[in-house]
Amino acid sequence: MTLGLSGIGVSRGIAIGRLAMLRQGASNVFELRLDPDQIEPEISRFRNAVQQASQQLRVIQDTIPESTPKDVAEFIDTHLLMLDDEMLSEAPVNIIRERRCNAEWALKIQRDDLVSVFDRMEDPYLRTRQDDVNYVFARILRGLQRGEGGGETRRLSHRIIVAESLSPADIVFLQHNHIAGFITETGGPLSHSAILARSLKIPAVVGVHTATMLLQDNETVIIDGASGLVLADADQGVVADYRRKLRAQGERRRALLALREAPTVTLDRHHIALHANIELQEEVRSLKQVSAEGVGLYRTEFLYLKRDRPADEEEQLRTYRRVVRALAGKPLTVRTLDLGADKTCSDESAHPQGPNPALGLRAIRRCLKHVDAFKPQLRAILRAAAYGPVRLMFPMLTSISELDAALALLEQVKRELRRERRRFDNRIAVGAMIEVPAAAFSASAFAARLDFMSIGTNDLIQYTLAIDRMDDEVNYLYDPLHPAVLALISMALEAGKQAEIPVSMCGEMAGDTRYTRLLLGMGLREFSTPPSSLLEVRQVITRSRIDLLRDSCREILSMSDQGEIAQRVRQLNESDQTRQVAEC
């Protein structure tokens, strides 16, 4: 009997595959059910990992200096004894055989059983011995995950992953292992992970609150990343229907590839600049595949997240320079650090977040407060700009005084580089993101001081409508067509026009084809989208006439009812402007 679950579709596309459950904790462990012929090879893999862990500990034991305290040596002796104990070396083997599960899962089951035994002990000293169990467990697990053949990752190909949540790092890892799609219990359409899933073209549904309870490992699951529907144990007719949709999806993607080299020009001959948003160096290849004109948003938080320490100036310089060279003359717009809110780094203990992180010390506020931590990035960006066209962009400015402080700091860094006789671009183009209502209202004053502006719709909508975009309880209120949002976008575009500086849009709205014609009619001439959306946006642009859109968009901007606006935008998208050209 088909089980249907609803969530939030955050990355379009259909995926059909067997399910793999990701159990999260100190270490992430996938639950995979083995075929009978896979059991003995899996046991061999486990035994090799145990042997490897034992060899590593013996090497450590042999290289301990004589001056090392005796307790340390005993600590290693204890772990070696545990590796020889059947409770850790043989019990998981029995679990693999009896439950037909992968070695990581069997090891976790045994570890949980042992830890629960220690938890029940009354003696405080003995209770702490569970730390030894965890240490040995982690060492064997690392051996499994790094072992020959790729361990469990080898079997993740074409699987649909189910987890409580997934970090951006998890998603990159899974994408490298060719998963078909993923389902999470938490998250929203504007979370960092959802944005990355869209960029990497991984079908995804989030906010399926009971997914890890109701779905079973190894069963066949269908996910529809557009509607947010998840189907398990579907009958043959339903599966066949979705396989037809999957083939049609492939045909549409192949048809879009014909637009890779096409100029981005409207029917009435307006050239529109199409740039891409990227976060990882790997995405440069995707950008080239769709012939983007450059990078309109390069997120740099990955240099600070999930690391023991942030990247220093030299590492940042090497990273930016690699991207500049990979772009081969196309412009790179580097957004300075946007840490805080949903993006926290390893030094969070030194800079704790306030009670409301989205409204707290994040992005440029944080950078201007911790100048010593910010200057290495400014220096690295300026130095990288000596190797190709680079633009620097400050996020989340709210006032002219903030902008002036950021510009003054940039000039100070330039003077330092000049004194040190470092090579850098003294005339680097400097811009700012318009992503809070205060900045949109002040856009004219910003434009007078800047070389370009970029509208960040994700935060602009969040702050205008007072909804936390990470909270799936209020995600339904997120509406790019709210008249207040449209008015603020219009203000920013008009300010750029008056100051004669370019204004682009790099938020999710720019990559959503439902809004492409509306934005063209409002005056937007530069889009920066995820590489995965770029060809679809180009297709809409090449089928549109701006001269026919302007009056309709002026009418939409005068409306106050969201329902009427949505209806009018649908009509705008459904009109065949190719035919209207022929009739003109």
- Residue 559: HSE in the Cβ half-sphere, 13 Å Cα cutoff: 18
User: Is 112 in a helix, a strand, or coil?
Assistant: helix
355: helix, strand or coil: coil
DSSP lists the bridge partners of residue 160 as 19, 181
Q: With contact defined as beta carbons under 8 Å apart, do 568 and 552 qualify? A: yes
**Residues 397, 302, 283, 188: is their CA dihedral positive or negative?**
negative
The secondary structure of 371-431 as a DSSP string is HHHHHHHHHHHHHHGGGS-EEEEE-S--SHHHHHHHHHHHHHHHHHHHHTT----TT-EEE
Query: How many alpha carbons fall within 13 Å on the CB side of residue 86?
Result: 1
Counting Cβ atoms within 10 Å, is residue 233 exposed (0-12), middle (13-18) or buried (19+)? middle
**Residue 506 appears among annotated catalytic residues:** yes
Can you tell me the distance from the alpha carbon of 130 to that of 136, in angstroms, rounded to the nearest whole number? 10
Helix (H) or strand (E) holding 562: helix 562-574
Q: Which helix (H) or strand (E) holds 373?
A: helix 371-384
Crossing angle between the packed helical segments 546-557 and 483-499, to the nearest 10 degrees = 130
Based on its alpha-carbon atoms, the radius of gyration of the chain, rounded to whole angstroms, reads 27
Residue 377 near residue 338 (C-beta atoms within 8 A): no
**Residue 231: in which H helix or E strand, if any?**
strand 229-232
> Do the beta carbons of residue 428 and residue 391 sit within 8 Å?
yes
Name the amino acid, one letter, at 349. S
Compute how many other C-beta atoms are within 10 angstroms of the C-beta atom of residue 451.
17
**Amino acid (one-letter) located at 559:** M
For residue 160, give the nearest of 90, 79, 234 by alpha carbon: 234
How far apart are alpha carbons 45 and 30 in whole angstroms? 16
**Catalytic one among 192, 345, 367, 553?**
192
- Tell me which of 101, 345, 367, 506 is the catalytic residue: 506
Residue 530's Cα: distance from chain center in Å?
A: 11
Which DSSP helix (H) or strand (E) runs through 110?
helix 103-119
Residues tagged active-site: 192, 506
